[in-house]
Amino acid sequence: MNEILKTIQERHSLRAPFDRERSPSKQNLTQILEAARWAPTAHNMQNFEITVVDDKRLLAKIGDIKSRVSEEFLRENYEQLSFSE
């Protein structure tokens, strides 16, 4: 329990612009996928699939997808949202 508490206390969020040219290291990607694999799910069903996309052209296309954020969502979550330039 102390290890979990220490991890929670030491965590931090980094606010930086997304860099499309900076890929995660193979070790970091493996750790991220392992954390996702062990993440809890409703009724322990693990009813999800993880897809890793490393094709830069496809990632650019995905990044260019436009989606609308509803005014209702913004109103309900305004205080939790972090805005940066």
Q: Are 52 and 46 in contact (CB under 8 A)?
A: no
Cα–Cα distances in Å, from 76 out to 71, 82, 84? 9, 14, 19
What is the number of alpha carbons within 13 Å of residue 66 lying toward its C-beta? 1
- The encoded tokens of residue 42 equal 């409703």
The domain spans of the chain are: 54-80
Which pTM does this prediction carry?
A: 0.54
**Confidence check: pLDDT of 84 > 60:** no
The average confidence (pLDDT) of the chain is 85
Q: What is the pLDDT of residue 47?
A: 83
Q: Which helix (H) or strand (E) holds 3?
A: helix 2-10
Q: What is the pLDDT of residue 28?
A: 94
